[in-house]
Amino acid sequence: MLEPREGIPPVIADEAALARTIAAFEAGSGPVAVDAERASGYRYGQRAYLVQLRRQGAGTALIDPVACPDLSALGEALSGVEWVLHAATQDLPCLREIGMVPTRLFDTELAGRLAGFPRVGLGAMVEGVLGFVLEKGHSAVDWSTRPLPEPWLRYAALDVELLVDLRDALEKELDRQGKLEWARQEFDAIASAPPPEPRKDPWRRTSGMHKVRRRRQLAVVRELWQTRDRIAQRRDVSPGKVLGDAAIVEAALAIPANVHALAALNGFGHRMSKRQLEQWQAAVDRAKALSEAHLPQPGQPVTGPPPPRAWADKDPAAAARLSAARAGVSALAEELSMPQENLMTPDTVRRVCWEPPAVVDAESVAAALAGYGARPWQVELVTPVLVEALSAKEA
């Protein structure tokens, strides 16, 4: 499929056109296909730079959320309507920022996982389920570009062209497999989930951090990361375009004494101006000046069980429980033709195995799983497997 059925619609970039679109989509029928394009790797943050919608009776709309940053009226007009998204958790944060929050949804990627499809990308799903090959190739472009080139708009419109058709086919397949109610519980959980908490100490996720061991070096990573983040935010560019993670780690390991030493490191080479070098060296110097009490601790505070590789030494019985539980969950997932992380998150399995209920029975294990956020269908299926794994190792 190379062209949308009604051609490429004009981009909506003013209030009058937006009002007409809202009226048309409110008057439409059935589910609404929704997608958003971000400029990951180009811009700071994960904001939406294009929103695509399609609904029967309304056709396809391409909305510029830079020109129309408040789409809450559109969100309200579609309240109660089922939104069809592919990999919903990727798009929901940027849609929420502009006032679009679904009350009901259908996630075609997650539906594909539950139904046992080996490849769940949109292109692969549309081809495998509907027999259409979508024109792909613009997913990683800079969607903050204005005006957006026509080939990109064509690609964006095609992303929602067949989404409702795909939804309908997947619903039939899930129903045939007896998994439709499971999928509905998953979709409801996504729709009702609160926004994620801001990540604590995001600088610790710098790529290559495993090489950084000493507290003073950790302080250098933190100062450079925070300086880079402020610059990236101010310039509205991806942090990686300001300074690479590898350069941050290199500077942390070397702790250069001055600008001259810093300039000799990889990532701080000849293309960097003296002023830029001075600002990075100032961050290094701030870390060097910190007292011992203000240096970051190695590793993050652990909430929950230790890494599984440490279990055999710390608690051999727990390690045996985990091994049995993993084998049982894996076998059940294979039997149900779905990835085991969709049957039950590995973190939940680890937590129950590390600290099992005082009395291991169906009721206590089910309560533990529900307490960690497992959905009723997961609790029902996995409880017997875990009861067996925990009981066998207690004996």
Give the model's pLDDT for residue 271.
Answer: 83
Give the model's pLDDT for residue 130.
Answer: 95
Give the model's pLDDT for residue 301.
Answer: 64
How many whole angstroms from its chain centre is CA 70? 23
Strand partners, 52: 35, 62
For the stretch 122-148, pLDDT in tens is 999 999 999 998 876 677 899 999 999
Buried b (16+ CB within 10 A) or exposed e, 270-306: eebeeeebebbbebbebbeebeeeebbeeeeeeeebe
Give the model's pLDDT for residue 303.
Answer: 73
Give the model's pLDDT for residue 395.
Answer: 44
Positions in the chain whose pLDDT score sits under 70: 136-137, 300-302, 393-395
CB 319 within 8 A of CB 350: no
Rg (CA), the chain: 25
CB 55 within 8 A of CB 33: yes
> Strand 59-63 vs strand 11-12: parallel, antiparallel, or unpaired?
parallel
Share of the chain above pLDDT 90, in %: 91
Q: CA 194, CA 329: separation in Å to the nearest integer? A: 28
> Strand 29-38 vs strand 11-12: parallel, antiparallel, or unpaired?
unpaired
For the stretch 20-67, pLDDT in tens is 999 999 999 999 999 999 999 999 999 999 999 999 999 999 999 999
Q: CA 290, CA 338: separation in Å to the nearest integer? A: 50
Distance of CA 42 to CAs 13, 46, 89, 142, Å? 22, 10, 21, 6
Tokens 């810093």 sit on residue: 262
| Token code pair at residue 210 | 């495993």
Answering whether pTM is above 0.75, one says: yes
Which long-range contacts link 223-229 to residues 24+ away (Cβ below 8 Å)? 223/283, 223/284, 223/286, 223/287, 224/248, 224/251, 224/252, 224/280, 224/283, 224/284, 224/287, 226/283, 227/279, 227/280, 227/282, 227/283
| Crossing angle (nearest 10°) for helices 150-161 and 163-176 | 30
Give the model's pLDDT for residue 139.
Answer: 74
